[in-house]
Amino acid sequence: MSQWINNSVFYHIYPLGFCGCPEFNDGNTEYRLDKLKDWIPHLKEMGINALYLGPVFQSLKHGYDTSDYYRIDCRLGDNESFKRICKELHDNGIRIVLDGVFNHVGRDFWAFKDVQKYGSNSQYCGWFQNLSFNGRSPFDDPFWYEGWSGHYDLVKLNLSNQAVVDHLIGAVSMWIDEFGIDGLRLDAADCIEPNFFRALRRFCKGKDPDFWLMGEIIHGDYNRWANPEMMDSVTNYECYKGIYSSHNDRNYFEIAHSLQRQFANGGIYQNLYLYNFLDNHDVNRIGSTLRNPAHMKNAYTVLFTMPGVPSIYYGSEWAIEGTRTRDSDQMLRPCLELNTPLAKTSSLVPHIGMLSALRKSFPALNSGAYENVLIRNEQLVFKRTTGSQTVLVALNLTDSEYWLDFPISGGTMLTDVLVDGSEYRVENNHSNIMIPANGARILLLHNGEFDYRGFKEKLTGLAQQKAVEKAYTKEQQAVADAQENQILPEQPAPKKDERRPKLGKYRSWDGSMFAVIALATNTDDHEQAIIYKELFNNGLIFTCNAKGFLEDIEVDGRMVHKFDYVDSED
């Protein structure tokens, strides 16, 4: 397997749609794909370090009807402009995987046009599957040929012909030499001769041992195509369906079963690093598929923490919608700009950025073994482990927070690294944690030595910024700094409704963080009581009456609130 893939996060673009290209190639060269350079900061914001580009080579219509494997589609630019794009991507640490469409070509493919012109005298008659001059094609050609899956605008290549193989591998050689590509996604891989993949692998690995080959496989045993002789990986359609279906049906048993079957000890794909996704250019957008938008972040959390490499389809980081129709995939492949209104309001981008940062920070999340810990219809806990690290992922589908008890051993403490740094004790090989409503926690198992604040400070980019803002707001940081210097900063004025008790996070006068987990009534005096829990220390649970919790106290000669409510945005 290519070594770089373990730490990769993919972004998938369908270029002809992304760039708003005309439906049919008019032969005019327009450098539309140059806009990709402006997207590089956005990609890095999400921790993207690998880009899978759909068809970029010359075609008549949708890119999968190739007419020339050696030329960039003129609707996108030319070879020189694409070379510059690839260089800029590489300079920013982003690898490039191109769509290898080798099963079929378009009717404008130069060798097919030669057959149309010269008939049986063409030297390229043997290039096409089941070509025969004993009949006529649906396009009224004076010969018959095999179309891919009954589509006669897609002419099936004869991959048993060595000249065809040489032509295709020659194109790949040019793509590596000219553009420096790092891998290929092989279209319609289940329809292609295995011997072609064997030859392609020998060539690519001989040229670059780290070159990555991934095949599009919808059904069947993935081991047939992903093995030491053929491809490194395939598309994981089983878990694509399992993720959205589990959330829609509020049934985590489905995805848990697939993950256990595929990746647990003895799993059928335990030794494969599959390509995982929530949507792509062929299926409905996850924004249209999920029935409850509140489950979107959990779906991405599963995608980024399950075994394999995660991929985001362009625009789905903003939860855009799109469904395919019987006659068109156009809604799945829109032209998008960075200033779309959804981009300004979506909270998914920082969430994805955080998931990317965590995945790259913890080897257990990108290469660890998989095991289910606890499965319920609306809650799931699984763990990823290496020899020296254990990370648990806990998910909740209900509309309210959920306290969950589950078995765990090997450490004395669990620290949440996704949400707020909450700490939970492990006692008698069990722990009890609170999972937010429609949310998740990613928990590092340790023996009390983990420095949460130090860890957050090491994260980079937007993921660091957002994580720190959630766990330690600027005000909290000021309190922490002042404590170190024995100076207490002035507390901000309370909002009008802050003095009413409510569930949520509170900051005490000394900067400690707590969560009010329940409001109760004292049976003796019928006064309202508060039940609250430490967030950053030992996770102890306390109770007191509401008046005492919300009272003002004197500190260094001035009155301050004993506890202040912290807005959820902080």
Q: What's the mean pLDDT in 391-403?
A: 97
| Nearest-angstrom CA–CA distance, 524 and 459 | 50
Question: How many percent of the chain have pLDDT more than 90?
Answer: 76
Residue with tokens 């647990």: 264
Whether 477 has a pLDDT exceeding 90, the answer reads no
Q: What's the mean pLDDT in 202-216?
A: 98
Under a CB-based contact definition with an 8 Å cutoff, are residues 103 and 191 in contact?
yes
Residue with tokens 């700490």: 423
Nearest in space to 452 (alpha carbons), one of 477, 424, 471, 435:
471
Q: Residue 513: how many CB atoms within 10 A of its CB? A: 21
Domains of the chain with bracketed CATH: 104-158 (3.90.400), 365-467 (2.60.40.1180), 486-565 (2.30.30.320)
- pLDDT category at 171 given cuts 50, 70, 90 is very high
Q: What's the mean pLDDT in 544-552?
A: 86
Under a CB-based contact definition with an 8 Å cutoff, are residues 198 and 230 in contact?
yes
Whether 474 has a pLDDT exceeding 60, the answer reads no
Q: What's the mean pLDDT in 299-307?
A: 98
Whether 256 has a pLDDT exceeding 80, the answer reads yes
Please give the pLDDT value at position 57. 98
CA angle at 248 for the pair 247 and 251, rounded to the nearest 5° = 55
Residue with tokens 């909290």: 476
Please give the pLDDT value at position 543. 84
Whether 286 has a pLDDT exceeding 80, the answer reads yes
Which are the contacts of 272, defined by CB distance < 8 A and separation ≥ 6? 222, 223, 226, 233, 234, 308
- pLDDT category at 468 given cuts 50, 70, 90 is very low
Higher pLDDT, 512 or 204: 204
Query: What torsion, rounded to 10 degrees, do the Cα atoms 269, 272, 273, 275 define?
Result: -60
- pLDDT category at 397 given cuts 50, 70, 90 is very high
| Nearest-angstrom CA–CA distance, 156 and 147 | 5
Higher pLDDT, 256 or 563: 256
**Least confident stretch, 247-256, 343-352, 382-391:** 343-352
Please give the pLDDT value at position 396. 98
Annotate 70-118 with DSSP letters as a single string: EEE-TTT--HHHHHHHHHHHHHTT-EEEEEE--SEEETT-HHHHHHHHH
Please give the pLDDT value at position 209. 96
Please give the pLDDT value at position 20. 97
**pLDDT tens profile 509-529:** 777 778 888 887 776 676 788
Q: What's the mean pLDDT in 62-89?
A: 98
Q: Which alpha helices (H) appear in 94-236, and where do they start and end?
A: 110-118, 162-174, 194-207
- H-run or E-run covering 564: strand 563-565
- Give me 38's structure tokens: 């402006």
- pLDDT category at 466 given cuts 50, 70, 90 is very low
Whether 475 has a pLDDT exceeding 80, the answer reads no
Q: What's the mean pLDDT in 84-97?
A: 98
Q: What's the mean pLDDT in 411-427?
A: 95
Q: What's the mean pLDDT in 205-231?
A: 97
Whether 340 has a pLDDT exceeding 90, the answer reads no
Please give the pLDDT value at position 538. 62
Q: What's the mean pLDDT in 63-84?
A: 98
Please give the pLDDT value at position 563. 84
State the pTM of this model. Answer: 0.82
Please give the pLDDT value at position 10. 98
Q: What's the mean pLDDT in 87-104?
A: 98
Whether 373 has a pLDDT exceeding 80, the answer reads yes
Please give the pLDDT value at position 124. 98
Q: Which alpha helices (H) appear in 264-362, and where do they start and end?
A: 286-289, 296-305, 341-345, 348-361
Which residues are 96's β-sheet partners?
51
Q: What's the mean pLDDT in 548-567?
A: 80
| Nearest-angstrom CA–CA distance, 111 and 127 | 8
Higher pLDDT, 498 or 14: 14
- Give me 560's structure tokens: 């301050």
Nearest in space to 488 (alpha carbons), one of 570, 558, 535:
558
**Least confident stretch, 153-167, 319-333, 389-403, 472-486:** 472-486
Which are the contacts of 454, defined by CB distance < 8 A and separation ≥ 6? none
| Nearest-angstrom CA–CA distance, 15 and 30 | 13
- Burial letters for 27-56: b for 16+ Cβ neighbours within 10 Å, e otherwise? eeebbbbbbbeebbeebbbbbbbbbbbbbb
Whether 480 has a pLDDT exceeding 90, the answer reads no
Which are the contacts of 358, defined by CB distance < 8 A and separation ≥ 6? 304, 365, 417, 418, 442, 463
Please give the pLDDT value at position 147. 97
**Least confident stretch, 283-297, 479-493, 506-520, 532-546:** 479-493
Average of per-residue pLDDT values in the chain: 90
Please give the pLDDT value at position 567. 57
Please give the pLDDT value at position 505. 83
Q: What's the mean pLDDT in 469-475?
A: 39
**Least confident stretch, 141-150, 326-335, 463-472:** 463-472
Question: How many percent of the chain have pLDDT more than 70?
Answer: 90
- Burial letters for 387-399: b for 16+ Cβ neighbours within 10 Å, e otherwise? eebbbbbbbbbee
- pLDDT category at 413 given cuts 50, 70, 90 is very high
